[in-house]
Amino acid sequence: MKVIGIISNNEKQEALEISKAVYDYLKQRNIEVLLPNEDVMPERYSLKSVSQKEFSDKADAIISVGGDGTFLRASKYSFRNQTPVLGINAGHLGFLTEVDPENIEQAINDLLKGSYSIEKRMLLEGRLYKDGKLIRNTGLPDTALNEFTITRSTIEKVIKMEIVVNDISIKSFVADGIIIATPTGSTAYSLSAGGPVVEPKAETIIITPICPHTLFSRSIILGPDKVLEVRLNSRNEKDIFSVDGKTVALSRPSQYLLRVTRSKKQLNLISFNPNAFFKIFKEKFIERI
């Protein structure tokens, strides 16, 4: 491993300091370190940065320093070449950030020695169609590590949606929105909307309605080979489409259809502990209650 990219939560002092320490430690080991130039660091940390393309093409691994939100951002740089990503948590434990700040040097030594395993995380591809035509550039990534969502905006009315699987219409309902999540995303927004926790190594497409107006509001779990369509029948002027938390507005949403399939790519998560998910799950959801 010769080149490592760092993505940091630049709004958090602790993450900035850890990133600087990671940078210095890698430099001491003659590793070339890259930062993307759209990631603006405060003046006193300003380190050499490169274009997004150079970052994605040159990095042999990416280190994310922050929480799960930062890891989601780091993942966007990794999709192109399936570059493996390591998560260091800064502040509080995240589901995607296995390494604690006190174990950084050990983790980097293991990373450079190749003493780690790769956990493959399933990704989803989502394409939006308007009046039957593919929208080539929504302004958001086509690939999601957590989920795609469609929600009403706060000033608008509930949305009627039809779920179609492999061309078979299976359900229509009225709700505030819908979440189409990966197993990785099952512990994020989908969980808050009442969805199941799914072990991240599983390969499933999880459909979770947001506040459906019905007595039966279960999630639906699909196999990874299914083609899922969400057809919007919305009376609103505007609904919101989002990919891993990044949003755009859909104007006259009734004309839209979202098609979701499993991505051919995967997220390669660098892990030192095969049971990290269960450890983090217990710590975040059971012991902290």
Q: Which residues are catalytic?
A: 68
Choose, by CB under 6 A, the member of 98, 147, 176, 239 that binds ligand NAP: 147
C-beta of 26 vs 280, nearer to ligand NAP: 280
Residue 67 makes contact with ligand NAP by CB under 6 A:
yes
Binder of ligand NAP out of 143, 187, 208, 263 (CB under 6 A): 187
Give the interface segment with ligand NAP, choosing from 44-52, 91-99, 215-223, 250-258 (CB under 6 A).
91-99
- CA dihedral (225, 177, 79, 223) in degrees, to 10, reads -20
Closest to ligand NAP by CB, 13 or 166: 13
Q: Name residues contacting ligand NAP, limited to 263-282 (CB under 6 A).
A: none
Q: Within 220-249, which residues bind ligand NAP (CB under 6 A)?
A: 244-245
Q: Please say which residue, 94 or 209, places its beta carbon nearer to ligand NAP.
A: 94
Which of positions 5-64 make contact with ligand NAP (CB under 6 A)?
Answer: none
- Tell me the per-residue interface mask from 190 to 219 with ligand NAP, x by CB under 6 A, - otherwise: --x---------------------------
Show the tokens assigned to 134. 């593919």
Q: Which two tokens stand for residue 238?
A: 């505007």
Nearer to ligand NAP by Cβ, of 52 and 255: the residue is 52
Rounded to whole angstroms, how far apart are CA atoms 227 and 167? 8
Q: Which stretch binds ligand NAP (CB under 6 A): 24-32, 33-41, 128-136, 182-190?
A: 182-190
Q: Across the chain, which distance is largest between two alpha carbons, in Å?
A: 60
